[in-house]
Structure 1
C-alpha cells in the first residue's frame, strides 16, 4: 500500500480525536467558562453541525480544485479551527472554533476516500479506504483517552493546541507523500451534482443513515448503560470504550478486505451482524464480562459496514464520486443525531437502559432492507441491460441476413 495512506490516516486520527474528545472534557470546559454542562453540550452539537453543513458545501465549491491542494486546504482549516478553540476567550468563540473545526471533516473524508481509492489497483480500493479510516478508529483507542487525560491535567486548551499540532504534522505528510492527482476531464459542480440523479446513490445514503443511527442509538448512552446495568464503575468505562475502538479498528480493516471481494454482500453482512449484536446486548449487558465483549463486537460490526458503505456510494457515483462521498459523511452525522434522539426517546418513556439496543437493532434491520432493495434493483437493471444487449445483437444479425439476401438476389 502507498505510504501516502499514512498521511491520510494521520489526518483522520486528528479529526477523530477532536470530534470525540469534547465528551470527556465537558465538565472541565463548563467549569472554566462558568457555564452549565448542558450548555457546554452545544460544543458537541456545534461540531456535528459543522460537519453536516461543510461536507456537501465545501465539496461542491471546490470541485475544480486539485485534490492534493484541496486536502491541504481542508487540513489547514481544521488546524485553524482547533487553534481558535484553544485560544477562545469565551464560550461563543469556542463554539465558533468547534463549528469551524467540523466544517472540513466530511469533505476531507469524502475527497480522501476518492484519493485513497485512486492510488491503488481496483482490487484493493476498499482496503485503501479502510486504512485511511483506521486513523479515525485508532483515535478512539489512543487519541481520545490521551487527549482527555492531557486536558484534565494541563487544561482543556492544551488538548486543542495538541490537536492543532497533529494537524500541522498531517499537512506536512500530505505535502510530502500524497501525489498530485489530475482532475478528471469535464469535471465541475454540474458533473458532481449529476450523481444525485441516481436512485442507487440515494438508497446508499439512506442505508448509511439507518445503519449508523443503529450504532449511535446505543453508543450515545453506553456510559449509563454500563454503569447502571452492567455494574461498571465510572473509572472503568473509559477502558471499555477503548475496547470499542479496538473492535472498530478490527471491523474497519476486515470490512475493507471483504468489500474488495464482494461489496454488497460485505455491506449486508456487516449490517446483519450489527442487528444481531445489538439484540444480544439486551442480554449480555447484565454481566460485566459479557457487556465488555459485546462492546468490542459492536465496534467490529459497526465499522465492518463502514468501508463498504463508502465504497458503494463511490461506485454508484463513479463518474462524480467526490460530492457523493462527502454527502455520505453528512449522512453519518445525521445518523449520529437521529440515533441519539431515538435512544433518548425510548429512555425518556421509561423503557429501561436496554431499550436503546432494541431500537438500534430495528434501525439496523431497516438498513438491511434498504441495502437489499438496492441489490435487487441492481440485479434487475443488470438483467434488463443484458436483455437489451441480446436484443440489439439479434437486430444486427437480422440486418446482416437481409443485406446478404439482397446481394444474392
Structure 2
C-alpha cells in the first residue's frame, strides 16, 4: 500500500475520534454546558444525522461544481477544523449542537472523498485492502482515540480533547496536501455521471447488505454492557476491559478481512455473516455463562463491523467508486447503525428481556445473509463480470 493510503487512514482516525469521544466525556460536557446527560447524548445523534442527511447533499454540491477529490478533501478538512474549534470553545448546548451538525456533515463528505482518492491510488484488485487501511482508522478511533480522549478529559478537561483533534486534523490536512497525489484517472463527469450509478440495482443491494451487517452488530454491541452485567454476571468494573477486547478484535478482524476482501468479496461476507448470526444466537441462548459471553463478544468483534473492507470492495466492484457512491454508503451504514440500536432498545423496553437485542442482531444477520446469497452463488465469474474497474 502507498504511504498516502495510511495518511488517509490517519485522517479517518481523527474524524472517528471526534465522532465517538462524546460518549466518554458525557459528565464533563453536561456540567460545562449545564444540561442533562440525555441532552449530551443528543450530540451523538446530531452528528449521525449530519452524516446521514447532510453528507450526501454536500458531496453532490461538490460534484456539481466539479471540485477535484483532493481539493475537496482539503477544503472539507479546513471546514472540519473550524467547526471543531467552535465546539472546543462552546459554552452553550446550541453552539455545541451546531458545531456537531457541521462536523457530521463534513465528516461524511470526507469519507467519500478519501475513499475515492484511495480507490484511485491502487489497482482495482487492491481496493478492498486499501479500503481496509483507510477504514482501519475508524477502528483505531474506537480502540485508541476514544479512551485517550476520555483520559485527557479526566486530567486536563474536555476542551483539551477537542483542541487536540483540531491539531490532528490540521496535521493530516498538511500531510494530504504534500503526499497524497491528485487523481490519476480522467476527470469524472460530475454530479450527473455519479447519479447514473444509483440506477444500478446491484448497488442498492450492496447498500442493503451493508446496512443489515452494521445493524446486526450494533443491535447487540450497543447493549453489551447491560447484558454482560445483568445476565452474564460480570462486575461493572470488568466491562471497560471486555469492550476493549471487543475493540482489539475489531482491529484484528479488519486486517484479516482486508487481506481477502478483493479476491473473495462475497465469500468473506457470507462467512462473516454466518459466523456473526451463529455467535449472536449462541450468546442469546447461553447469556448466563460468563466464559462463553466473553468468547462471543470476541467473535462478534471479529466479524460484524470488521466486514467493512469487504462491504466497501463490493460497492466499488458494482459501481464506479466516486465520492457520492462512497458517501451514500457511509450514510446507509449509519442508518443501519441507528436502526439496529433502536430495535434493540425497543425490544428491551417492550419487556422481551436483555437477551432480545442479541436475537434481533442474529435475525438482522440472517437477513443480510439472505440478501447476499443470490450474488454469492454466482461465484467468481459473475463477480469479475460485475467489476467495472
TM-score, normalised with respect to structure 1: 0.88
- Which residue is equivalent to 1:398? none
Bigger mean CA deviation after superposition, 67-76 or 287-296: 287-296
Work out the CA distance in 1 between the residues paired with 2:342 and 2:289: 26
- Which residue is equivalent to 2:350? 349
Shift of 1:73: 1.7
Shift of 1:342: 0.3
Give the length in aligned residue pairs.
Answer: 381
Cα deviation, 1:254-279, whole Å, max 9, x if unaligned, reads 11111122111112122222111211
Q: Secondary structure at the match of 2:303?
A: helix
- Which residue is equivalent to 1:29? 29
- Which residue is equivalent to 1:215? 217
Bigger mean CA deviation after superposition, 217-226 or 324-333: 217-226
Change in CA separation of 1:66 and 1:283 when aligned onto 2, cut-off 3 Å? same
Change in CA separation of 1:288 and 1:105 when aligned onto 2, cut-off 3 Å? farther
Shift of 1:364: 0.8
1:79-158 map, 5 Å: 79-158=81-160
- Which residue is equivalent to 1:364? 365
Shift of 1:294: 2.1
Q: Name stretches of at least 5 consecutive residues in structure 2 with no aligned partner.
A: none
- Which residue is equivalent to 1:38? 38
Work out the CA distance in 2 between the residues paired with 1:372 and 1:300: 21
Cα deviation, 1:156-212, whole Å, max 9, x if unaligned, reads 212111111111121122112101115634511010000010000111111111111
Work out the CA distance in 1 between the residues paired with 2:77 and 2:142: 20
Shift of 1:31: 2.1
- Which residue is equivalent to 1:6? 6
Between structure 1 and structure 2, the one with the greater Rg is: 1
Q: Tell me how large the CA RMSD over aligned residues is.
A: 2.0
Cα deviation, 1:34-61, whole Å, max 9, x if unaligned, reads 2111122111101101111232112211
Q: Is residue 194 of structure 1 aligned with residue 187 of structure 2?
A: no
Work out the CA distance in 2 between the residues paired with 1:261 and 1:87: 47
Cα deviation, 1:349-375, whole Å, max 9, x if unaligned, reads 222111101000100110111112344
Asked if 1 retains the 8 angstrom alpha-carbon contact of 2:70 and 2:113, the reply is: no
Shift of 1:334: 0.3
Q: Is residue 227 of structure 1 aligned with residue 229 of structure 2?
A: yes
Shift of 1:382: 5.5
Asked if 1 retains the 8 angstrom alpha-carbon contact of 2:270 and 2:376, the reply is: no
Asked if 1 retains the 8 angstrom alpha-carbon contact of 2:120 and 2:185, the reply is: no
Asked if 1 retains the 8 angstrom alpha-carbon contact of 2:121 and 2:183, the reply is: no
Q: Secondary structure at the match of 2:25?
A: helix
